[in-house]
Structure 1
Amino acid sequence: MKKLLGIIILTAVSFGAYSQEEETDRSEGKNFVLKFCPTQLVAGEFNFSYEQRIARKFSLELEVGPTISQFGLNFGNQRLWRSDFWDFDPISTDAEAAIGFHVSLAPRFYPMSDDNQLKGLYLSPVLKYRQYNYTTEDINGVLDDARSSLSQAIFRFNMGLQFWPGDGNFSIDMYFGVGLGTFTIKEQYLDNYVDDQGYVQSKWSSSTDTGIRLNAATGIKFGFGM
């Protein structure tokens, strides 16, 4: 995660430096857009984003928001909650959904734009980190709840179309993207053992599962900008 966040920060700094070199009249055209993506609720995400124009054909978009495990239909959630999903074992049946988070950074290039409007066809590489959390209770009521997680590091290449109906301040952004994502599941589970006095005791033990999966996303964002 530290390496991914470092890449995101470096990308932001690089594009910020580029924007200072680009001679662009910021007094005309669209400079920023605030958006919400309802289709990402399918992934258990509440997805909010901010897009900032940094040059005539370039912008930078930041996405942030919470995630809720067991909410949605994507791989991250169903890998956790369904035992028959691609023949993986599920997490503990005592687990409960919890709040996580996601963050991504995506530079955008509008190859056909010539009016500083943040509109038209765009190409966009996306770096994303997403984490789903869940808690497991001790059925004996002795130990504190344990927190487990599924995290994903995603690199995806998006293609989309953003437009402003009636040339107003309301925007519609439709996109599709494919790429690769890693996943790491860190699960806490109850482990029973016999102590020196011969009594059965319980403790939390952990297991880790990792892998790589194809990542694809499509959706629509609604925004307001000026």
Structure 2
Amino acid sequence: MKKLLGVIMLSAVSLSTYSQEESGYRKFAVKFSPTQLAAGEFNFSYEQRLARLVSMELELGPTISQFGLNFGNQKLWQGDLGLWDFNAIDYDAAAAVGFHVSLAPRFYPASDDSQMKGLYLSPVFKFRQYNYTNKDESYYMLDNARSSINQFIFRFNMGLQFWPGDGNFCLDMYFGVGLGTFNITGQSVGTYENPPGSGNVSPRWETYRDNGIRINAITGIKLGFGK
């Protein structure tokens, strides 16, 4: 019995010591990136420490097409600008809500032990989708249809994360370069003979697609808190 009590007391002391040591470590951070609004993203992230110099960051949130200066804003790149070399989404398509999600391990090679601060390197795996609502403005008055652009992105980020005054506020500055695929599914109004050969013309939405690979680059800041 005395030996059992001794083991319990020793375990309690060890756990207490470990907890006190842990209290000096950074455990997590919750962040928001205002600069990603330029990409039509509301970008929220959660970073969790996994090991002494390693953490994992999850990003997610909604996207809004036709917003910002990015690939999802069709109106910036269509019409007389003639910058697209593919059959892009109709210029009059209305904005709609999509989503994005990414997962990124982080490595802090020069950080103090388990502090999640200083220089970091981070491969990023991301999926992003922009949705659009197609409205038939002709006399056919077809029901609305949906178009979309989705992207799979692999990027290598480098950044600096600070905890000013060693408080709970954090500032994360980053940039990165990589590659991203794009897949476009668009809708346009077409006609067909119904039945074939009858001369009777009926309207319908016709789906078209395009895809490719583009360079993906990013720079920005994240503001957040943690402990």
TM-score, L = length of structure 1: 0.84
In the alignment, does 2:200 pair up with 1:199?
Answer: yes
CA distance in 2, matches of 1:93, 1:82: 7
Cα pair 2:135 2:145 within 8 Å, conserved:
yes
Measured after TM superposition, the shift of residue 185 of structure 1 is: 0.3
Matched, 1:137 2:138: no
2:83 aligned residue (81, 86, 111): 86
Aligned counterparts of 1:141 and 1:87: Cα–Cα separation in 2: 28
**CA 1:81/1:192 → structure 2, altered by over 3 Å: closer, same or farther?**
farther
Counterparts in 2 of 1:141-160, with a 5 A limit? 142-160=141-159
Give the SS at the match of 1:54. strand
Q: Per the alignment, do residues 85 and 179 of structure 1 end up closer, same or farther by CA in structure 2, a change over 3 Å counting?
A: farther
Cα RMSD (Å): 2.0
Give me the identity figure in percent.
65
In the alignment, what sits opposite 1:111? 109
- The one of 57, 61, 73 equivalent to 2:57 is 61
Q: How many residues align?
A: 204
Say yes or no: does 1:28 pair with 2:28: no
Q: Distance in 2 between matches of 1:143 and 1:38?
A: 38
| Distance (Å, rounded) in 2 between the aligned partners of 1:198 and 1:78 | 36
Change (3 A) 1:85 1:106: farther
Shift of 1:93: 3.4
CA contact 1:79–1:90 (8 Å) conserved in 2? no
Deviates more, 1:187-196 or 1:88-97: 88-97
Higher gyration radius (CA): 2
Q: Relative to 1, partners in 2 of residues 1:152 and 1:186: Cα closer, same or farther, differing over 3 Å?
A: same
Give a deviation string over 1:174-204, Cα, whole Å, max 9, x none: 0010000000000111111222343221011
Gaps of 5+ in 1: 1-22
Letter in 2 for 1:34: V
Gap change, CA 1:201 and 1:103, over 3 Å in 2: same
Contact persistence 1:182–1:213 (CA under 8 A): yes
Residue 167 of structure 1: aligned partner: 166
The DSSP-based 3-state class of the residue aligned with 1:45 is coil
